[in-house]
Amino acid sequence: MTIAPSGSSTNASDLLTLACWMAGDFSNHKQSFANPQLFAHIHIFFRPLPFDFFSAIGFYSEQVYDYDLWTPYRQGVHRLVDWGDRIYIENYSLKDPVLYAGAARELDILKTITPNSIERRYHCSMVFVREGEMFRGSVEPGNQCLIPRNGHQTYLISDAEVTEHTWTSLDKGMDVETHEQIWGSKAGPLRFEKQESFADELDAVSALC
């Protein structure tokens, strides 16, 4: 598992800070406008779940193309866990994701998500450590987060950087046999800027944001 680099530390207040920074609607509009042939215009939403969903801080997430906000191409549920020197974000998939499309923007839909509607994606958690005014994260090591795609069994490589106002991410799917990249950006990371904050929805935690 990733260990915090020398001079870096993570504590409970860092977990709350990461949650506050994550809560929002992020857009890569500037990147897409500058290089439309390489980058589509995408939104990533991280919408806080009620604290009692996990008895911990949790999020519902959607990734959507700007031209089709009601048809997310990726949805997930996430639980933040304090591991002392790092922050561990468990990832869950939705058993029937179509039922919850748009939940990142419509709270009435968000309220219909229950713990019974999700299942854990084992070996696919993200591990974050704080580095100054940024959190840097990557998928847990071992190449065991498996995703079938385009007739290949692939493992996920995922890296992210989070600041108070930005989210940068690069996801790649690598063939388990040849280690060749099968899917994901070959033009570099996606660079998002926060358009709207949802930190005030983090229940009692919002006072710390």
What pTM value is reported for the model? 0.90
Predicted confidence (pLDDT) per residue in 3-18, tens digit: 333 334 456 699 999 9
For tokens 């498996």, what's the residue? 146
**Residue 206 DSSP SS3:** helix
Q: What is the CATH number of the domain that holds 80?
A: 2.40.128.590
Domain that holds residue 90: 12-137
Contacts of residue 111, Cβ cutoff 8 Å, sequence gap at least 6:
none
Q: Tell me whether residue 154 is in a domain.
A: no
- Whole-angstrom distance, CA of residue 148 vs CA of residue 155: 8
Residue 165 sits at the vertex; the CA angle it makes with 162 and 167, to the nearest 5 degrees, is 35
Confidence of residue 131 (pLDDT cuts 50, 70, 90): very high
- Whole-angstrom distance, CA of residue 88 vs CA of residue 86: 6
Q: Tell me whether residue 114 is in a domain.
A: yes
